[in-house]
Structure 1
Amino acid sequence: MFTTNHVRFQLSAEMNLLKPYQKTLQFSTLTSFAPPPTAPDVHLVGKAITILKRHHLINLDPLSTQFTPQSASYLLLQAQSDKTLILSFINWARRRPFFDLQCSCLSLHILTRFKLYKTAQIIAEDVAINTRADENGDLVFTRLKDTYSDCNSSSAVIDLLVKSYSNLKLVKRGLNTIHLAISHGYMPGVLSYNAVLDAIIRSSEPIKVAEEMYLHMIRTGVSPNVFTYNILIRGFCGVRDLEKGLGFFAEMQKNGCLPNVVTYNTLIDAYCKSRRLDDAFKLFKTMPNKDLEPNLISYNVILNGLAREGRMNETDEVLEEMKHKRIIPDEVTYNTLVNGYCKEGNFHQALVLHDEMTRNGLSPNVITYTSLINSMCKARNLHRAMELLEQMRVRKLFPNARTYTTLIDGFSQQGFMDEAYKLLDEMKKKGFSPSIVTYNTLINGHTVNGKMEDALGVVDDMSKTGLTPDVVSYSTIITGFCRNQELDRAYETISQMVAKGVLPDTITYSSLIKGLCDQRKLTEACDVFQQMLRNGLPPDECTYTALINAYCVEGDTVNALHLHDEMLKKGLLPDVVTYSVLINGLSKKARTLEAKQILFKLYYDNGVPDDVTYETLIENCGNMEAKSVVALIKGFCMKGLMNEADKVFDKMLQRKEEPGEAVYNVMIHGHCKGGNLRKSFDLYKKMVSHGFVPHTATIIALIKELIRGEMMVESSEVIENVLRSCRISDGEVAKALVEINHKQGNMDAVFKILSEMAKDGLLPNSGKTAYAQ
C-alpha cells in the first residue's frame, strides 16, 4: 500500500542522490535553491483527478502553480491504472516546472506498461537532454530502478531509455545503462543492444566497438535478430569492410536468421561501391530464390552501380524489368540516370530523361541540375545551361557553389569572361565563397584568351582571400606562358611555385615540354623529360604526344615510333592525337604502309578522332574502305564534333560515294543532339529522296526536337511521311489516332502511338519502301 510516509522517505533519499548534480541539471527541482521535500497535497491531487476524469483539461491550468513534484508523483502513482487519465495528465504536465526527474521516471514505467511507446520515447529523450551532467547515466538509472517496483514495470523500460540515448548518439550512456541493468539483475532485450549498435555505427566510435558489443550480447544470452545483423552489415560496409559484412551475412543464415530486402540492398550497394558490379548482380539475382522481391531501392542501387561504372547501355534492361514488375521510378531513379548519362557524355539522353522526369511530376535535385549544366557547358551550349539555371530557380532549387563554379568554367572556357565575372559576383552575393577550383577556372579562361596579366591578377585576388594557389593554378599559368611563347616567364613561374612549397606535377612538366617542342627546342624538351623521370613523376599521354610530334616535325620517325612503343609498355594508350601525328609524320617520310597500319589499329581499338586528326586521316588515306569512313563519322557524332562529321560526309560525296542508311541515321541524330535542327531536317529530306528509311528512333528524336524548336511545318511533314509509309491494313486505327492527336497538338500521345506502332512492326525500319515514293 502506497503511503505519504513512503513518498517522504523516498524523496528524501532521492534528494541526497541529486546533490552532486543540483547546479547543472535542468529539471526545475534540481536547482541549488530547491526546498526540502514536502508531503504531497492529497486534496489537490484528488481535485485534479476529478477534473481529468471529466476531460476538462482547461480547468487544470489554474492548479499548475499549486503542484509540487511530490504532488505530481503522488497523482501518477494513485492513477497509474487509468490509461486515459494518466496519458492526459502526462501530456498536460510534462512541460511544466514541477515535472521533475522523479515524475519522468514514474511516467516512463507507466507508459511502457501501457505500450504507449511514442509518448514514452519523447519523455525518455527529454530526460536524456535535461540530465547532460549525468555523463554515464548513473543518476537516471538509479531513479528508474528505485521507482521500478512502484509501477509493476518491466525491463522494456530499460530498452526505451537505452533507445533514447542512442537516438541522441549518447553512446557512453547507452552502453553504461546496459551494464548497470545487468549488474542489478535486469535483462536488457535485443532492442537495447540494437539501439546501442546503431548509435555506435552512426557516431564517430571505432567500428570495433560495435563488434565488441555484439560479442557481449551473445555472451549474455541475447539472440540477435535480422535488425542486429543489418546494423552490423551496414556498419562494416560503410567503412568499406565488405568482407566483414559478408561474414555477418553468412553467420546470420547459419544461425537461422533470414536476411530481408534491407540486408540484400546494403550488400548490393557495398558491392557496387567496391566496383564489384558483377558480384552485385549475382546477389541481386538470388533474391527471388529466398522468396524476396527486389524493391525500388534495390533497383536504384543497381542503376547507381551501372552509372558509376559507365555501363549506361545496361540500364535499359533494368528499367524494363522494373516496368514489368510495375515498380515506378522515383526521383532517385531519374537523378541517377541523368547523372550517369551526363558523366558518359550522352547529353541528349540526359535531357530526354530530365524532361520525362518533370512531365511525371518528379523534381530533379540540385546535383542533377548541376550535372546537366556541366554537360551543356562541355557541349558549349551555354544558352541551354543558363535555361537550366533558370529552371532551378523556378523550382525553388538554389544553385550551390559547384553549380556556380561549373557555369563560370563554361563561360571562361569559351572566353566570355564578363559573363563569368557576373556569375562570380552573384555567387558571392548568395553567400558562397569561391574555392581554388573557381579561381582556377578564371585563370584558365584568361590564359585561353592569351591575357596573362589578367590571369596573374586572379592569382593575386585568390591570395587576398586567404587561398593559396595550388599546382593547378601554377600549371595553368605555365601553360599560358608556353602558349604565348614566353618560356622565360614559364621557367620563372616554376621557380616561384617551388619557392612557395608547391611541387610541379606531371601536368606542369608536360606543359613545359609541349611549349619547348612547339618552339622546336627538342633537346631542351628531352632534358626536362629526363628531369621529370628523375623526380619520380610518370609521363602521361600528353607528354608522349608532344615529344612524338616534335620528333615527327624533325623527320625523326625512328625515335617517334620508339616513344610510341614505350607508351604501350607503360600501359598508356595512345589517343587519336598521338596516332594523328604519327600518321602525318610517317606519310611525309613516304612510309605509307606503316601509316595505314597505325590508322587501322586506330579503328580497331575504337579510337574516336577529333578535329586535330580528321584532315590527316582522310587526306593521307585516300583509299580507305567505306566501313572505315562510316566508323569515322560515327565517332565524330558520338563526340558531338558535328563540323568534323560534316566534313567527312562531304568528302564521301566528293568521292562519289553514296552515304548509306546508317550514316544518315547517325548524322540526323548527331545534329539533333547538337541543336542544328535545320541541318537534321535537310539530311532527313535528302535521306528520303535517296530512297532510304530513317530508323524509328531517328524519326521520333527528330520530331521531338523539331517541335521543341517550334518548327511545326517541318515536324508535320515528317509525321505525314511516317503515316504514308505505314502498312495500311494493320495500321489504320493507329494512323487515325496519330492524325487526331497531331491535329489537336497532343504530341505526347503521338510519340506514344508511334512507339507502339514500331513495336508492332507497323513502321518501316530498313530498306527502300513507300518512303521513297
Structure 2
Amino acid sequence: MRRCSLTLSSFSLCLHHSSKKPKYFYLSTSSFHPDHDKLPNDSNFPETTFSEIVFTEKPTTERSSRGQFPPSLTQIFQKEKYPTQDHIIEILLNNQHDPKYALGYFLWADKWGGNIKTIDSLCIMLHIFIQSGKLSSAERLLKKSLSGSSSPNASVLVDRLIKTLKICGSDNHRVFDCVLNVFARAGLVGEAVVGFNRMITSGIFPCVKSRNILLTALVRANKIEKAQDLYREMQARGMDCNCSTLDIMMHGSLKKGNLDEAEDYFWDMKGRGLKFDAVLYNTVIQSICKKQDSKRACEFLKEMKDLGFVPSDITYTSVIGACMKQGNMMEALRIKDEMISDGVPLNLVATTSLIKLYCTQGDVNGALVLLSKMTKSGIAPSGVTYAILIEGCCRNRNVEKAYELYKEMKEMGMSPNVFTVNSIIRGFLEKKRWEESFKLFDEAADSGLANIFTYNNLIYWLSTESRVTEARNLWDKMLNKGLIPTVVSYNGLILGHCKQGNMDAASILVTEMSEKGIKPNVITYTSMIDGYFKKGEVDQAFNVHGQMLGLGIVPNDFTFNTIINGLCKAGQTFEASKMLKKFIEEGFIPICMTYNSIIDGFIKEGSMKLALATFHQMHQSGVSPNVVTYTSFIDGYIKNNSINLALEMRNEMRSKGLQLDVAAYNALIDGFCKKRNMQCARELFDELFKVGLTPSSAIYNSLIGGYRNQNNMEEAFELHKHMCEEGIRCDLPTYTTLIDGSLKVGNIVFAAELYTEMLAKGVVPDIITYTVLINGLCHEGQLKNAHNVLDEMNGKNMSPNVLIYNALIAGYFRAGNMQEAFRLHDEMLDRGLEPDEATYDILVNGKFE
C-alpha cells in the first residue's frame, strides 16, 4: 500500500498539478466549500473543514500536521485501490449519519474511481446533505457538478434522485428544490423546466420558493410565455402561490408591455383572497402608472399606506411621474410632500420629474427653487435635470439663467448635448444677442457638436435680419463640414434673399433645391410670394402662387395671409377683400391678423368707411379685434384729425379689457402733439409708464417735436436727457428735431454739440438734417458755418435741395451780399434744381420768411 507523504495543507496545491480527471465529476478543493459551518469536531479531525478532506493519491495512515484520519475511513481507503460503484454506495449509505466523513470518501472515490459512473453516488451524497439540514451544501455540490463537461441532464438526475431516495430510506423531498434552484440559477432554465415537469409527473411538488426561482429565471431569460404556461400548470395542479409569485408574473407581463395582463394577475389573486405585501403593491402601482392612470395609482397608494406599508421611492416617483404626464401638478406636489413626510427621501428621478412639471407649467422659478433644495439635500443633478431646466428657461425667455446653468453643467464635468446648445442659441437669437449666440455656436462647431439644426437656426435668424452675406458664409461653412442642407436650410436662405428683394438669387436657390432632389414646400413658395409682393411685383407673386398649385402643394393659412397682406401693402386692399371671400370658400378660416391687414390697408388708403365695414365683418365672423386692430383705427382717426373718435376707440378697447400697446400710445401721443395739446400728450406719456410699458424712440420724438413747435426746448432737452439715462437710442429724427429747436432759440453751441454727438454715435445725417442745420445757421447769421455744411454735403456727394439754397440765398441777401446770393442762384440752376416761388420772393421782393 503506497503512502502519501504530503500534509493536508499541501493537498490543494498538488491537486492543481494533477492531470487525471474523473469521467463525470471533478471537484477542486480550491473552489468547493459545501458548507461554511463546521460539523461537530472529531478528536482525530481538529478544526478540519470539508474542503480539506481531499486526496491527490491514496491517503497515508501517518499523522499529519493537521490531524489524523479516522481509522474507519483510513482502513477503507487502504483496502480498496479501485472501489466499485456498489462499494462506494455501500460506504456512503453506512455513513449517512456523518456527512463530513461521507463527503471525504465521496471526493476520494470520485478522484480515484476511474471509469465508475458516480451519478448515483452524487444523488446519495445530496440526500445525505439534505437529511442533515445542509441544503446550501447540497446546492454547492450540485452546482459544481454541473460545471463539468459531462454534467447530468435534469430528467436523468430527477429519476436517479427518486430511486436513491428510497435506497436512503428518506422521505425528505427538499432535494428536488435543490435541483430546481441550482439549474434555474445556473441559467439552465430549459433543463430546469424539464426537471420540474419530471417531478410533477412523479407526484413531487417543489416548494413555492423554488417554483418562484424557476419563474424568475424564465422571466429574466425573456421566456415569459413559457413562464406563463408553467404558472397555469401550477394553478391547474393546485399548487399554492404567494405574493412573490404574483409579483414575478406581473413583472413578466410588464416586461413584454402588456399592462392589462399584468393587472389581470393582480385582480385574479385578489379574488382568491391572497394577502398582498409591500412588494406587490409597489409593482401594481408602477403598472398602473405606466398606463398613465394617475387617479387609480393614487387610490392604490392610499390603500397600500392604510395597510401599514411604506411605498418605495420608485413607487412614489412613478406616481409623481404619472400625475405630471396628466398635467395634475397639485396632486404631484401633494405626493411629493407625502413622500417626504413618510421619511422617503426624494431621489434624482422624482426631483427631475417635478422640475420638468414646473417647467411645463411655465413656473421656472419653482423649478429652480427645487433644484436648490435638491443640491442641498445631497442629490447631484444629472445631465437630464440640467437639460430640462435649460429648455424651461429658454421657453420662459430667461436665456441668461439658461446659459448660467449651461456653464454650471460643464463645470461639473457634464457634456451638454446638441439639443441643449441649440435651445440656448435660439434663446440668444430671439433676444438678438448675436455675440453670445455666435460664441456658443463656435464652441459647438469646434467640438463637432453642432448639427444641421444648429446651422439652420443661425441661417434663419441672420436671414430675418437681412444679414444674408453672413448667412451665406455660414452656409458655406456648413457644406465644408459635410452637412447636407435640408429644405429648412434652403428656406432660411431664400427668406433672406426675399427680404432683401433679391428675387433672382432666391429663384436660383429654388432651382438648386429641385436639382438636388429636395422638394420645395409651402414655406418655400410662400416666402417667394411674399418677396415679390414686397418688391411690388404683384403679377409675379401670383405666378409663383400658380406654380405652387400646379405642383399640388396646398396653400396653408400662412400663404393666404401673405397674399392678402401683400395686396393691401401694394395698395390693392379692395382686391384683397374680394380675394378673402374666395379663400373662405376654399376652406380658409381668417384670423384677426387677416382682418387687420385689410383694415389697415383701407385706413392707409383713406377709406375709413370700408375699414369700419371690414371691422363689422370681423365681428360677424366671430373674430375678436385685438390691440393692433384698435391701434390702426386710432392712428387712422388721428391722421384724419378726428381725435375724439380716436379716443372713443381707446375707450372701447379698454372696456373689452385690452391694454394699449406702445404703438397705440405712440399714435395718440403723436396726434395730441400735432394738435399742440401737450398736456394730454404728457398725460398719456405718464400713463404709459404706470402700466409698465417702455416708450419707444418714436414716442420721445413726437413729444420732443411737440415741445419744439411750442419753443419749449427746456422740456425737449429734459426728454433727451431721460432717453439717454434710460438707454433708449436717440435716432436721426431725435437729433434733427433737437438741433432744429436749439437753432430756433439761438442756442448754436448746443446744436453743434448735438451734431457732434450724433456723428460720434454713427448716426448719419440726411437731407432733412442738413436742411435744418443750414436754415438755422443762416437765420443766426452764421453764413460761413452754413456754407461749410454745404461743402460737407458736396463732399458726401449729397445734392442740396431747393430749401437749402433758399436758406443760403436769403442769408446772403439779408447780409447785403447780393453777389453771393445770385451766384448761389446760378449754382442752383446748374445743378438742375428748379427755383420755387420762395426763391423769387427772396431775390425779387426781398421776402426772407
TM-score interval for Structure 1 and Structure 2 normalised by the shorter chain: 0.5 to 0.7
Which residue in 1 is equivalent to 2:422? 370
Distance 1:82 1:187, change over 3 A: closer
- 1:623 partner SS: helix
Which residue in 1 is equivalent to 2:317? 265
397, 400, 403: which is aligned to 1:345? 397
1:447 correspondence with 2:498: yes
Partner deviation per Cα, 1:432-487 (whole Å, 9 max, x = no partner)? x6554444434434433434454455555555666554433443333333333343
Q: Which amino acid aligns with 1:586?
A: Y
Which residue in 2 is equivalent to 1:482? 533
Which residue in 1 is equivalent to 2:476? 422
Residues 639 and 671, structure 2, Cα contact 8 Å, conserved in 1: no
Matches of residues 16-31 of structure 1 in structure 2 within 5 Å? Answer: none
Matches of residues 319-338 of structure 1 in structure 2 within 5 Å? Answer: 319=371, 322=374, 329-338=381-390
Which residue in 1 is equivalent to 2:572? 521
CA RMSD of superposed structures (Å): 5.3
Could you tell me how far apart the structure 1 residues matched to 2:432 and 2:372 are? 33
1:516 CA drift (Å): 1.2
Could you tell me how far apart the structure 1 residues matched to 2:602 and 2:156 are? 85
Which residue in 1 is equivalent to 2:766? none
Which residue in 2 is equivalent to 1:385? 437
Q: Which amino acid aligns with 1:380?
A: K
Could you tell me how far apart the structure 2 residues matched to 1:309 and 1:104 are? 65
- 1:348 partner SS: helix
Which residue in 2 is equivalent to 1:17? none
Could you tell me how far apart the structure 2 residues matched to 1:120 and 1:649 are? 89
1:547 correspondence with 2:601: no
Partner deviation per Cα, 1:646-667 (whole Å, 9 max, x = no partner)? 9899999964667999x999x5
Q: Which amino acid aligns with 1:159?
A: N
Matches of residues 425-574 of structure 1 in structure 2 within 5 Å? Answer: 425=479, 428-429=482-483, 435-459=486-510, 462=513, 468-560=519-611
Matches of residues 729-744 of structure 1 in structure 2 within 5 Å? Answer: none
Distance 1:310 1:116, change over 3 A: farther
1:513 CA drift (Å): 0.8
Could you tell me how far apart the structure 2 residues matched to 1:191 and 1:292 are? 23
Could you tell me how far apart the structure 2 residues matched to 1:412 and 1:114 are? 74
Could you tell me how far apart the structure 1 residues matched to 2:356 and 2:556 are? 33
Which residue in 1 is equivalent to 2:360? 308
Matches of residues 706-725 of structure 1 in structure 2 within 5 Å? Answer: none
**Comparing 301-310 with 381-390, which one deviates more in the overlay?**
381-390
Residues 576 and 609, structure 1, Cα contact 8 Å, conserved in 2: yes
Distance 1:309 1:52, change over 3 A: closer
Distance 1:85 1:176, change over 3 A: closer
1:281 CA drift (Å): 3.5
Could you tell me how far apart the structure 2 residues matched to 1:421 and 1:73 are? 80
- 1:48 partner SS: coil
Partner deviation per Cα, 1:182-210 (whole Å, 9 max, x = no partner)? 334444544454344345445454x4333
Residues 356 and 367, structure 2, Cα contact 8 Å, conserved in 1: no
**Comparing 258-267 with 558-567, which one deviates more in the overlay?**
558-567
Partner deviation per Cα, 1:722-764 (whole Å, 9 max, x = no partner)? xxxxxxxxxxxxxxxxxxxxxxxxxxxxxxxxxxxxxxxxxxx
Q: Which amino acid aligns with 1:547?
A: I
- 1:43 partner SS: coil
Larger radius of gyration: 2
Distance 1:45 1:164, change over 3 A: closer
Could you tell me how far apart the structure 2 residues matched to 1:391 and 1:557 are? 55
Q: Which amino acid aligns with 2:634?
A: I
Percentage identity across paired residues of the two chains:
20
1:98 CA drift (Å): 6.5
230, 235, 252: which is aligned to 1:182? 235
Q: Which amino acid aligns with 2:234?
A: A
Which residue in 2 is equivalent to 1:210? 262
Could you tell me which runs of 5 or more consecutive residues in structure 1 were left unpaired when the two chains were aligned.
Answer: 1-40, 132-138, 637-641, 672-773
Matches of residues 135-150 of structure 1 in structure 2 within 5 Å? Answer: 141-146=193-198
Could you tell me how far apart the structure 2 residues matched to 1:87 and 1:404 are? 63
Could you tell me how far apart the structure 2 residues matched to 1:336 and 1:522 are? 47
Structure with larger RCO (C-alpha < 8 A, sep 6+)? 1
Q: Which amino acid aligns with 1:539?
A: P
Residues 285 and 315, structure 2, Cα contact 8 Å, conserved in 1: yes
Q: Which amino acid aligns with 1:450?
A: G
Residues 576 and 602, structure 1, Cα contact 8 Å, conserved in 2: no
Distance 1:513 1:238, change over 3 A: farther
Could you tell me how far apart the structure 1 residues matched to 2:323 and 2:426 are? 28
Residues 450 and 484, structure 1, Cα contact 8 Å, conserved in 2: yes
Distance 1:204 1:52, change over 3 A: closer
Partner deviation per Cα, 1:271-320 (whole Å, 9 max, x = no partner)? 33333334433444454555555444444323222211223344455456
Which residue in 1 is equivalent to 2:461? 410
Could you tell me how far apart the structure 2 residues matched to 1:75 and 1:221 are? 42
Could you tell me how far apart the structure 2 residues matched to 1:211 and 1:344 are? 40
Q: Which amino acid aligns with 2:267?
A: L
1:583 correspondence with 2:634: yes
1:43 correspondence with 2:22: yes
1:343 CA drift (Å): 0.8
Residues 482 and 490, structure 1, Cα contact 8 Å, conserved in 2: yes
Residues 306 and 312, structure 1, Cα contact 8 Å, conserved in 2: yes
Which residue in 1 is equivalent to 2:70? none
Q: Which amino acid aligns with 1:48?
A: L
Partner deviation per Cα, 1:327-347 (whole Å, 9 max, x = no partner)? 665544433222111112122
